[in-house]
Amino acid sequence: MALGATLLFAAAAASAAGDRSPVSEPALPASIWVYNNWSAYDELSDAVPLTEELAMRELDEILRLRKFGIHFDYYMMDAFWYDPDGGYRSWRTESWPHGPDRWLEACKANGIRPGLWFSTNTLTHMNPVPKWRSSLNDSGTAMSLSSGGFLDDFVEVLDAWYDRGIRIFKFDMADFSAAAGDEEKRRSPQEIRLRNARAFHQALRDFRRKHPDVVLVAFNGIVGDVSGAGANYNPFGPHWLDVFDALYSGDPRPSDVPEFDFWRAVDIYSDQMVRHFEHGGIPLQRIDSTSFMIGDTNTNYHRRVEAWQGSLLLMLAHGGRLRTVHGNLELLDDEKARWFAKAVALYDPLLQHGLTRSFGGSANSARPYGFGSIDADGAVYAVVNPAQAFHDVHLPRLTPLQEANVEGRVLFRDAGYEPELDGDMIRLGPGQFALVGFGRYADAADDLGIQTEVRIPRRIEPLRVRFHEIEETNEAVVLEAVLTPPAVGDLRVILEQRDENGEVIRSTSERVMGEFFTVTAAQQGHSLPVEIHHDGVIWSGLAWASGEIRHEQMLPHTPLHLRLTTAETDPTLRLHARLYRVEY
C-alpha cells in the first residue's frame, strides 16, 4: 500500500476515535434489492438520454416483475436527472418538464423507496452555483470539501431530498485532490486529500445521525481506482464502512484474462474485483459488485440479455447485502422473470442467514476460483475456471454435510462440456462456470438448467506453432504463422498484449475492437471466416483478442496462414499468441 494511503488510514482512524457522538452505524438487513436505471440509458459513452418517460416505464416493469416474486426495495435514479445550473435542487426541464413529482409519488404509492445519484464534488455536466464558487479549484472542475461553501450547501441539498422521500444516496465521481484558492500552494497534495476525505467522512456521519434510515453507497473516487485488481482500491480504507452501507467494486468490463467468450471475461473481471476488495479488508456483505447489467447501451457493451443467467448467479454468489440490477427490465420477459425468481429463491436463505466466502486462485493467473455460501441446511458453490485448459477444482468443505459424503448436484452450467462432480471435486472445462449444491441445495427441484449462449469445448489441446513478428511501414505490430490445420477439431487463437516486463497493456479506442485487433486466416490466398465475440466498441478497453476457425472451413493438409495485428502504439508492447485445437 502506498504511504499516502497508509497515512490516510491512520488519520481516518484517529478521526473516528475522536468523534464519539452517537451515530447509527450502517447495518443493512440481510439483503436489499436496488433497481438502478443506468444502462437503460447512457449519456457518457452513448447517446441514449434519461427521460421521465424512460424512468416511468422502468417503474412499470418493476411492478410487472412483482407478480413473479421479484421485489425491488429501492429505485435509484442515476446520473443526469439534475438541471446543470440548479445545484442539485432542480431537475432537467427538457427531460422532466414537471419535475420528479410523478416519479416520487408513484414510488411512494407502490412501497418503493426512491434514490438519487450525486457527483460528490466534481462538476459532471453541470455548472457551479454561487455558494460553490468559494470552493472551486483552479481548473474549474471540482470543489474542495474542506474549504469554502460547497460542503455545507451540498449537505443542505441532501437534507432537502431526504425530506422529499429519498432514502438511498449514491455518491460518485469524487475528487479528493480538489483544492480551493491558493490551497495548492499552502498544502501538500497528501494533506489536501486527507482534509477533503475527513471533511466528507464527518459530513456523512452527521447526515446518518440525523437520518438513521438512509442507505449510502460509495462509488468512483471514494473507493479509489477500480480499473483493475492491481490498483489501490480504497484510499480511505475500511473506515468508510462506518458511514457507507456498501462500497462498489467497479463497473463491468472484460478481464485481462483472455476468454473466447466475451461475456465470461466480463464475469471474471467483476469476480476478480470483488475478491480484490475482500482481500483488502472489505467484508463480502458490504461490497456492491455492480456486476449485473442488462440493456442496449455502450455502458454494458450492448449486451441486452446475452449470457445474463450466469451474470445474475455470480452477482448473488458474491454475497453482497446490497444487490443492484441495472438496465432495461423489459428485457426480462415472463419466462426470464420466472427463472430470475427461482435463482433468487435458491440463494435467499443462504444470503439471509448464511455465510459466504471466496476460495481458489487468482483469475489473473488463470487459476480456478469460486464463492461458497453455507447455512445450516447445506451449501452452494459458484465455480469458474478462467484457464484455457481443463481443471479439477476442490470445493472447500464449508458444511459437515460434505464430511458425511453427501452427494452434491450441478444445478447450472454452460452449454457443451458437462462438468464432472465427484464428492468435493469438480472438473471444469476451459472458461466454464458451474453452480453446485449440497444438502438441501442439491434438490433436482432447484435445477436452473444450461446457459446456451456460452459453449464450452469438450476437448482442448495446445498446439506448438512458431509466430514471427513482422515490421510494417504503418508501425502496426504484426504476428504471422503458417501451420497445417488440425486433422480433427476447430482452431482457437488467443492474442495478448503485454509490455517488456510481462505486464498487461489494455488498449482503448473509439473503433470497434474487431478492427483494433485483427485475427485473419487464409489458405491458398482465400480468407477464412474467423468467429470473434469482442467485435464492438469497448469503452473500458481490451488487452487481448480471441477467435475460432471452424474445422469445416479449413482445407486439410493445406498450409494455413495466420496474421494477428494490433493498433496499439505503446513502444514497450510485446504480442504473445497461443493456438489450441478444440472440439465441441
In this predicted structure, what is the pLDDT of residue 225?
80
Name 8's Cβ contacts closer than 8 Å, sequence gap at least 6. 193, 194, 197, 235, 236, 237
Q: At which residue does the C-alpha cell 458474491 appear?
A: 318
Superfamily for the 3-358 domain: Aldolase class I (3.20.20.70)
pLDDT for the residue 23: 52
On whether the CB atoms of residues 301 and 538 are closer than 8 A, the answer is yes
CATH architecture of 369-393+409-458: Sandwich (2.60)
Q: Tell me how many degrees the CA angle 441-443-444 measures, rounded to the nearest 5.
A: 135
Name the segment(s) of the chain with CATH classification 2.60.40.3230. 460-583
Point out the residues of the chain with pLDDT beneath 50. 1-22, 233
Output the pTM of the full model.
0.93
> Which CB contacts under 8 angstroms, 24+ apart, belong to 347-351?
347/316, 347/317, 347/373, 347/380, 348/31, 349/375, 349/377, 350/374, 350/375, 350/379, 350/380, 350/441, 351/30, 351/31, 351/316, 351/319, 351/321
β partners of residue 122: 142
Domain boundaries 460-583, corresponding CATH code: 2.60.40.3230
Helices and strands of the chain, counted as H and E runs? 11, 27
Give the C-alpha separation, 379 to 12, whole Å: 38
Residue 95: all three cell numbers together? 427531460
Are the beta carbons of 494 and 567 closer than 8 angstroms? no
User: Within 13 Å and on the Cβ side, how many CA atoms surround 340?
Assistant: 25
Q: What is the pLDDT of residue 22?
A: 47
Given this model, what pLDDT does residue 315 score? 98
The answer to whether the beta carbons of residues 31 and 351 sit under 8 Å apart is yes
Helix (H, G, I), strand (E, B) or coil at 162: helix
Evaluate whether 477 touches 573 at the Cβ level (below 8 Å): yes
Rounded alpha-carbon distances, angstroms, from residue 291 to 221, 317, 487, 561? 18, 11, 40, 39
pLDDT of 362: 85
Angle at the Cα of 556 from the Cα atoms of 550 and 558, rounded to 5 degrees: 110
pLDDT at 266: 98
Query: What is the per-residue pLDDT for 354?
Result: 86
Residue-level pLDDT at 400: 58
Q: At how many degrees (to 10) do helices 189-210 and 3-18 cross?
A: 40
3-state helix, strand, coil in the chain (%, to 5): 30, 30, 45
Bridge partners, residue 414, by sequence: 451
Q: CATH 3.20.20.70 residue ranges in the chain?
A: 3-358
pLDDT of residue 231: 61
